């Protein structure tokens, strides 16, 4: 099997880091981008604030000049929980900027190489909250936009040999999730109560789905949004 070079945003922790570990274990080259330090990262790591369009653009320009990136995981995310009446428009813009604008910027950077190779794999990390969750208007709107990007890009790039898919995790034991929903909190109980399997997923379980879409074998799968959520998108957990 050919080895590929994958760029992952938000790669220092959580789903991004778990995906990086699994890809590196398969022998691929992994490039990680995130704003914090990442000890023992399994590949090339670039510390950059992905909310800063200029800094991100500079980092991307340097990376695409040095590496033939033919896989992209748009994983970086930001949540600003608030009920509708309390949403600050500045927060809405900030959430959209990191979840959507960063994905577009990264896609534009790697697209010329993918088109030249007539090969590419793109995975956008969306979320179960697109189905509707209280106090998540900004985040859900941004992730819905990312799902829409997925289908649009899939249609636009299919003839170039580039697949574009989304993974929508349910409650996952990431730092971001635990920051907003500490174990034992009402939010934590609400989210786990939505999941028929009755638990939160470790990031590694989400990464398996991401790696499937990134594989050569997934060459005929594009424009899809896969829920990896313990059954939460199917229906409510049954009473016990």
Distance (Å, rounded) from C-alpha 216 to C-alpha 158?
14
Mapped onto helix, strand or coil, the DSSP state of residue 194 is helix
Q: Is 139 a catalytic residue?
A: yes
Pick the catalytic residue from 45, 119, 139, 227.
139
Long-range contacts of 47-55 (CB under 8 A, 24+ apart): 50/9, 50/10, 50/76, 50/98, 50/102, 51/78, 51/94, 51/97, 51/98, 51/102, 53/97, 53/101, 53/105
Please state the separation of Cα 25 from the chain's center in Å: 20
Please answer whether residues 176 and 14 qualify as being in contact, where contact means their C-beta atoms are separated by less than 8 angstroms: yes
Largest pairwise CA distance in the chain = 56
Cα–Cα distances (Å) from 49 to 13, 34, 37, in that order, read 15, 6, 11
Strands 5-9 and 29-34: parallel
State the residue for tokens 């890009």: 153
Q: How many helices (H) and strands (E) does the chain have?
A: 8, 7
* Active centre residues (catalytic): 139
């Amino acid at each position: 099997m050919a080895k590929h070079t994958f760029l992952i945003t938000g790669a220092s922790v959580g789903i991004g880091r778990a995906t990086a570990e699994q890809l590196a274990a398969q022998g691929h080259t992994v490039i990680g981008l995130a704003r914090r330090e990442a000890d023992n990262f399994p590949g090339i790591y670039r510390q950059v604030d992905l909310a800063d369009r200029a800094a991100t653009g500079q980092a991307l320009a340097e990376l695409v000049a040095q590496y033939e990136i033919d896989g992209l995981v748009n994983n970086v995310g930001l949540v600003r929980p608030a009920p509708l009446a309390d949403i600050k428009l500045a927060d809405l813009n900030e959430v959209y900027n990191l979840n959507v604008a960063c994905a577009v910027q990264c896609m534009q950077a790697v697209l010329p190489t993918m088109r030249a190779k007539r090969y590419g794999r793109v995975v956008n990390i969306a979320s179960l909250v697109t189905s509707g969750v209280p106090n998540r208007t900004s985040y859900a709107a941004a992730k819905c936009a990312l799902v829409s990007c997925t289908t649009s890009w899939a249609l636009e790039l299919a003839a170039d040999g580039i697949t574009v898919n989304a993974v929508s995790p349910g409650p996952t034991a990431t730092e971001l999730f635990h920051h907003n929903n500490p174990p034992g909190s009402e939010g934590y109980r609400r989210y786990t109560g939505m999941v028929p399997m009755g638990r939160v997923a470790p990031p590694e379980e989400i990464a398996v789905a991401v790696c499937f879409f990134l594989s050569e074998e997934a060459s005929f799968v594009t424009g899809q949004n896969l829920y990896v959520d313990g059954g939460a998108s199917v229906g409510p957990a049954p009473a016990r």
